[in-house]
């Protein structure tokens, strides 16, 4: 078995590519079925910085790309640590599921961190988006699993 070594640039590229893909899926879900999937990640994240919609979307894109790059490094580190050389999509999906637990847990702090939530302009999501309904919970997990899957496959393809 070949040694799997960590490579920073492919890790960043994998994270950014996975972020773009996962965000596109989220926004399509929101556009196609807004009552089924009311979670708008761009406004929820961006409104922590600006309540103006256009500015909030810009902030959110920047934040998501930075976080996605960092998560790409995390997924790649898992691959390196466990010397993953096969079933990369499965390892990526499992890592994405773990990331959804981290994100879902931190959403409990949205009230204290997000001024639009405090002002009542955005509904408080609660942990794992529970206040947005069970479909949003499955959406959160599914998109992070998709992120991990894509990040893992892109990383191993580039290395």
77-127, pLDDT tens digit by residue?
999 999 988 888 899 999 999 999 999 998 888 777 788 888 888 888 889
Check whether 143 has a pLDDT greater than 90.
yes
HEC profile of 40-61: CHHHHHHCCCCCCHHHHHHHHH
Residue 93 · residue 147 · CB < 8 Å: no
pLDDT band at 1 (very low <50, low <70, confident <90, very high): very low
**Contact assessment for residue 27 and residue 42, using Cβ atoms and an 8 Å cutoff:** yes
Binned at pLDDT 50, 70 and 90, residue 2 comes out as: low
Q: What are 116's two structure tokens?
A: 């639009």
DSSP secondary structure letter of residue 86: S
Q: How far apart are CA 36 and CA 50, in angstroms?
A: 26
- Residue 141's closest CA among 108, 109, 95? 95
Query: How many helices (H) does the chain have, and how many strands (E)?
Result: 7, 0
Mean pLDDT of the 152-156 span: 93
- For 38-83, the pLDDT digits (tens) are 888 888 889 888 888 889 999 999 999 999 999 999 999 999 999 9
């Amino acid at each position: 078995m070949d040694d799997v070594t960590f490579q920073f640039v492919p890790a960043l590229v994998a994270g950014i590519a996975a972020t773009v893909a996962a965000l596109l899926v989220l926004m399509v879900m929101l556009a196609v079925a807004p009552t089924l999937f009311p979670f708008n990640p761009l406004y929820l994240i961006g409104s922590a910085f600006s309540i103006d919609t256009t500015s909030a979307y810009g902030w959110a894109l920047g934040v998501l790309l930075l976080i996605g790059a960092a998560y790409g490094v995390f997924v790649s580190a898992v691959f390196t640590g466990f010397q993953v050389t096969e079933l990369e999509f499965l390892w990526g999906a499992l890592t994405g599921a773990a990331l959804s637990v981290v994100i879902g847990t931190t959403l409990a702090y949205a009230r204290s961190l997000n001024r639009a939530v405090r002002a009542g302009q955005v509904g408080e999501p609660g942990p794992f988006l529970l206040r947005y309904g069970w479909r949003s919970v499955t959406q959160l997990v599914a998109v992070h699993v998709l992120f991990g899957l894509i990040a893992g496959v892109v990383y191993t393809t580039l290395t």
